[in-house]
Amino acid sequence: MITPVRWADDALVLLDQTRLPVEEVERRYARWEDVADAIRTLVVRGAPAIGVAAAYGVALAARASRATTFDGLLADLETAGKGLAATRPTAVNLFWALERVQRVARAARALPLPEVRARLLAEAHAIRAEDIAANRAMGAHGAALVPPAARILTHCNAGALATAGYGTALGVVRAAHAAGRVALVWVDETRPVMQGSRLTAWECVREGIPHRLIADAAAASVMARGQVDLVVTGADRIAANGDTANKIGTYSLAVLARHHDVPFYVAAPCSTIDPALPSGAAIPIEERDPAEVRRVGAAPTAPAESPVYNPAFDVTPAALITAIVTERGVFRPPYRF
């Protein structure tokens, strides 16, 4: 099993996703500040995975705190929580996980400090374990939507690497593949950071899932040729009405899928749903370093002085989504989560 986030020997261990597919290196984190850095620089990425990593970040802050009173410890945890929350704005799983561990801390006022620290670590373990269980449940619900000999198109990486394990969109693919229903997975390269070619293709190779890599611009053409039976992607934040933020390029795929009469599914755990937001218009969209667009890997592909717009996510309107697969089952419009 691919394990992107784990706890070992009093530290958080992350599989460095910036190095894939070239090399598999794990890095050890004992300070919350370094975990925040790992989230910011995409060592760990994908909505559920950054939530899990942030929860462990707070547990690390509790271990490192020199506070001798509960209020002192809580103040240190709040500082860590703010620092971890400031890393990436779009995926709501980050804020959901931080709120969950902070709630555990606040409820532990009457306990000795070592017990508070132990409870925070236990909560991070629970968030991780629940994510894997949710993905497996999602896989089972989603696989039922996949016809025999399916050709499935996916975007970015919503696989084991983007979660605590197994994956959301790729979890659906995994479950359908195990049931013998997958003929081919079309893997979008996913410019500019290449999560499709670097990470999803790597997972498919590892698992023996038949796949074919395409440049993002080829998606329309494979759909027009009738070579895609369904699209499935992950999500970073789902508003109450079903509008869904996911990796930049997802919206174009949904438009294409509608034009070609191909079902478009989103797979995400309930921790990705943000019921406080009525629609996708209020989802904050991260803008990343212009350098990501001016190069492929380390190689420059544009003049250094060219201005760039680099939104990391877009919002797919609920009206273009056929169904949303969660661990609680398959939701169809109008969405009532």
Q: Is 128 in the site for ligand MRU (CB under 6 A)?
A: no
CB of 156 to ligand MRU, least distance (A): 4
Between the alpha carbon of residue 50 and those of residues 41, 195, 212, 299, the distances in Å are 11, 15, 28, 28
* Catalytic site residue from 34, 131, 229, 236: 236
Q: Is 7 helix (H, G, I), strand (E, B) or coil?
A: strand
Q: Does 315 bind ligand MRU (CB under 6 A)?
A: no
Is 165 near ligand MRU (CB under 6 A)? no
| Separation between Cα atoms, residue 247 and residue 157, nearest integer Å | 9
Among 23-31, 76-84, 215-223, 231-239, which window interacts with ligand MRU (CB under 6 A)? 231-239
Among 38, 162, 182, 231, binds ligand MRU (CB under 6 A): 162
Closest approach of Cβ 324 to ligand MRU, in Å? 13
Told to check if 316 binds ligand MRU by CB under 6 A, we report no
Give me the least distance between CB of 328 and ligand MRU, in Å please. 16
163 binds ligand MRU (CB under 6 A): yes
Torsion angle (degrees, nearest 10) of CA 279, 280, 283, 286: 180
How far apart CA 5 and CA 128 sit, in angstroms, is 8
Q: Is 312 in the site for ligand MRU (CB under 6 A)?
A: yes
Query: According to the binding rule CB under 6 A, does residue 234 interact with ligand MRU?
Result: yes
Find where tokens 């995926």 sit. 91
Query: In the annotation, is 16 catalytic?
Result: no
Angle formed at CA 323 by CA 198 and CA 321, multiple of 5 degrees: 70
CA distance 83 to 254: 34
Q: Report 63-122 residues binding ligand MRU (CB under 6 A).
A: 91
Binding region for ligand MRU (CB under 6 A) out of 57-65, 103-111, 119-127, 227-235: 227-235
Q: How far apart are CA 132 and CA 250, in angstroms?
A: 24
Q: Give the long-range contacts of residues 304-310, CB within 8 A, separation 24 or more.
A: 310/192
For binding to ligand MRU (CB under 6 A), which residues are involved?
45-48, 91, 156, 158, 162-163, 168, 195, 233-236, 246-247, 312
| Residues designated catalytic | 236
